[in-house]
Amino acid sequence: MTVQSKSLGGPKSVNDSFTRSFEVINILPNPFKEKFVLKLNCKKAMKVSLDIIAADGKLFHHGVLDCLYGDNTYYYIQKDFLSAGDYIVSCSDRDGYKVSMNINKKD
């Protein structure tokens, strides 16, 4: 596992032993209150798993995104189960490539 840092909430960890099939462009806003936007760029049409994980490791959300080739925008609408705090948004493909980013939920 290689740690990579970018400013303004860029990927915090990337597994570089896999071919990069997608890139997380950004998650906005961060911190968020009711919703956030996830922007991905995919090198091909594919499915990307999306997990939202609390700082203590508890999985709060799992979903599968149907990505098209190129830029993709997904809107995550706040559900009642997320309280204020720090979370990890983790995106992965079926081959094991994974990108994780920190995000903060505020009241």
DSSP sequence for 29-95:
SSSBSSEEEEEEEESSSEEEEEEEEETTS-EEEEEEEEEPSEEEEEEEEPPTT--SEEEEEEEE-TT
Q: Cα 106 to chain center, whole Å?
A: 18
Residue-number span of the structural domain to which 101 is assigned: 2-105
- Looking at residue 77, its pLDDT comes to 87
Structural domains counted in the chain: 1
* Structure-token pair, residue 14: 């990337």
Three-state DSSP at 5 gives coil
CATH number of the domain residue 22 falls in:
2.60.40.1930
What single-letter amino acid sits at 57? Answer: G
**pTM for the full model?**
0.79
Q: What is the pLDDT along the chain (107 residues), one digit of tens a residue?
A: 333 323 334 444 455 555 789 999 999 999 999 899 999 999 999 999 999 999 999 999 999 999 999 999 999 987 667 899 999 999 999 999 999 999 999 98
